[in-house]
Amino acid sequence: MRLLVTGANGLIGRAVLARAATDGTLQLRGTTRNHGAELPDSVEPVAVGDLLPETDWSRGVDGVDAIVHTAARVHVMREVIADPLAEFRRVNVDGTLNLARQAADAGVRRFVFLSSVKVNGEQTWPGAPYHADDVPAPIDPYGISKHEGELGLRGLAQESGMDVVIIRPVLAYGPGVKGNYLSLMRWLYKGLPLPLGAIHNQRSLVALDNLVDLIVTCLHHPSARNETFLVSDGEDLSTTGLLRRTAAALGRPARLISVPTSVLRAAARVLGKADLAKRLCGSLQVDISKTRERLGWTPPVTIDDALKQTAQHFLANVHRRGTSVA
């Protein structure tokens, strides 16, 4: 099988290629924006430019049997574009469907699309998780664009006969993770007191190794055809619990101060950080029973093992660069 991975030098794309390289039966190709991106020696690199409605994917899709599409315009914390939804649609909807049409015309048999739990929504009540077949309720431009991309791909699957598999990950973490989780690790490593010791929410997370394992499963499994799956580690944590277990993995004490969530939310509103407080204090759970039952899949890596791997990578980088974790 010849496999194409888009976004090959991103966190998930790199991990998929690294895992696929251990399978001697796969011929690997990875697309990037620019020439010169570092990919494993076993991967054929193809520079295609940006994910846009007019991008020519012929060099990427020619002779390919399956595609894992990880490239996307991702959630932007500090948006500067005047019409974010239009830009998300241009990339994540029109750009994705342009790729998928060219793939179908080239005879690609299966297209695995990395979507987002944001298609389901932004928040759940504790004990009331999202399910894969719930009615979608995206709120922000990123989630809306991913939902519309899913709809377009389902229509193309019916028209062309190309299999489409949709995976909606929750927050992924692992070696090399960035964003808010990296910031939390830095704070814990520095031993900073954090007012996050009394958060009793429940959040689903997914270790990078678990996400990649499901992606690879969906490349081959006959029951994945034209289905949508949620993915997580199968164990939900509160923000407080996550911080404590991350601190343990880092070998650092968790200096957590018990501040009521109502006070945290109020302070965050004053500081213009209401969205951050929502992510830290709110719940977002997913039920992966469909993924387990339909595919016979179980997350192969435990949360504590995944946190240990993530912490080891973080600490190795700290030691290489000196003591600074800024």
CATH of the domain at 66: 3.40.50.720
Write out the chain's pLDDT in tens, 326 residues: 999 999 998 999 999 999 998 887 789 999 988 876 778 888 999 999 999 999 999 999 999 999 999 999 987 656 677 888 999 999 999 999 999 999 999 999 999 999 999 999 999 987 899 999 999 999 999 999 999 999 999 999 999 999 999 999 999 999 999 888 999 999 999 999 999 999 999 999 999 999 999 999 999 999 999 999 999 999 999 999 999 999 999 999 999 999 999 999 999 999 888 888 888 999 999 999 999 999 999 999 999 999 999 999 999 988 776 555 54
What are residue 88's phi and psi, to 5 degrees?
Answer: -60, -40
Q: CA-based diameter of the chain, in Å?
A: 57
Q: Where are the alpha helices (DSSP H) in the chain?
A: 11-20, 58-61, 84-88, 96-105, 141-160, 179-190, 208-220, 239-250, 261-270, 274-281, 289-295, 303-321
pLDDT at 38: 79
DSSP 279: H
pLDDT at 321: 67
**Distance of alpha carbon 142 from alpha carbon 92, whole angstroms:** 8
Same domain, residue pair 16 and 155:
yes
Query: Please, is 42 exposed, middle or buried when counting C-beta atoms within 10 Å of its C-beta (0-12, 13-18, 19+)?
Result: middle
Q: Which residue has the tokens 């997580």?
A: 232
What are residue 309's phi and psi, to 5 degrees?
Answer: -60, -40
Name, in order, each residue with C-beta under 8 angstroms of 204's C-beta and a sequence gap of 6 or more: 117, 129, 170, 171, 232, 233, 236, 284, 285, 286
pLDDT at 40: 80
Same domain, residue pair 159 and 189:
no
CA 204 from centroid of its chain's CA atoms: 12
Q: Which residues are catalytic?
A: 142
pLDDT at 205: 97
User: Structure tokens of 153?
Assistant: 């791909």
Query: Please, is 54 exposed, middle or buried when counting C-beta atoms within 10 Å of its C-beta (0-12, 13-18, 19+)?
Result: exposed
Same domain, residue pair 9 and 142:
yes
56 within domain boundaries = yes
8 Å CB contact between 304 and 320: no
Name, in order, each residue with C-beta under 8 angstroms of 23's C-beta and a sequence gap of 6 or more: 216
Task: Please give the residue range of the domain that contains residue 46.
Answer: 2-169
pLDDT at 36: 67
pLDDT at 322: 59
**Distance of alpha carbon 88 from alpha carbon 145, whole angstroms:** 6
Same domain, residue pair 71 and 128:
yes
229 within domain boundaries = no
Residue 222 backbone zone (phi > 0: left; psi -120 to 50: alpha; other: beta):
alpha
Same domain, residue pair 142 and 188:
no
**Distance of alpha carbon 263 from alpha carbon 42, whole angstroms:** 52
What are residue 206's phi and psi, to 5 degrees?
Answer: -140, 125
User: Structure tokens of 103?
Assistant: 């793939």
**Distance of alpha carbon 15 from alpha carbon 31, whole angstroms:** 14
**Distance of alpha carbon 257 from alpha carbon 134, whole angstroms:** 37
Same domain, residue pair 18 and 78:
yes
**Distance of alpha carbon 326 from alpha carbon 317, whole angstroms:** 12
Same domain, residue pair 138 and 194:
no
226 within domain boundaries = no
pLDDT at 78: 65
Same domain, residue pair 275 and 189:
yes
User: Structure tokens of 174?
Assistant: 């692992």
160 within domain boundaries = yes
